[in-house]
Amino acid sequence: MPSITIDDIDIGTSPLEITLRSKYGRLTLNSLRSLSFGGVRGHGTGVMDRTMVFYGDLRSVNDALRGMQYICRSVADDCVSGKDSITIQVRDLDSGGDNDLTTKFQMEVVIREPTVDEVQGYPSGQGTSGPAV
């Protein structure tokens, strides 16, 4: 999954509200440090969620998004379509500039079946496949 980063020149230490949605798969953040999932709109836990709404400062949000994982568990999550979309919505909660500015971005994820090596725990191309001898 490509690395996602957020930038806001006037945010300072004010919080951002981040909404992540996946139609089929589940998302797990890289870090939960200094994030809040509570409050009026907070939702999810940051681990294996289809939808999550969380709050954090710019650094904490970027730490969470960097290395975020996407998992789609075949038929259980309706991953047979071959494609999924992830939507990220960023709400600027600072008091400067355009207060409460919201930006939305959508990216497509191609779903593929794992290789035999990946299922067996070997990195791609470094294991052996087929019956054990």
Report whether 3 contacts 29 (CB < 8 A).
no
Report whether 108 contacts 84 (CB < 8 A).
yes
pLDDT digits over 72-98, tens only? 876 666 676 677 888 999 888 766 555
Q: What is the DSSP code (8-state) at residue 25?
A: S
Query: Which range among 29-38, 43-52, 101-110 shows the weakest confidence by mean pLDDT?
Result: 101-110
- pLDDT tier at 133 (50, 70, 90 boundaries)? very low
pLDDT at residue 57, as a whole number: 92
Nearest alpha carbon to residue 34 among 51, 19, 6, 13: 13
* Domain edges within the chain: 16-114
Q: Please, which residues have CB within 8 angstroms of residue 107's CB and are 6 or more apart in sequence?
A: 2, 85, 86, 88
Distance CA 132, CA 112 (A): 25
- pLDDT tier at 65 (50, 70, 90 boundaries)? very high
pTM higher than 0.85: no
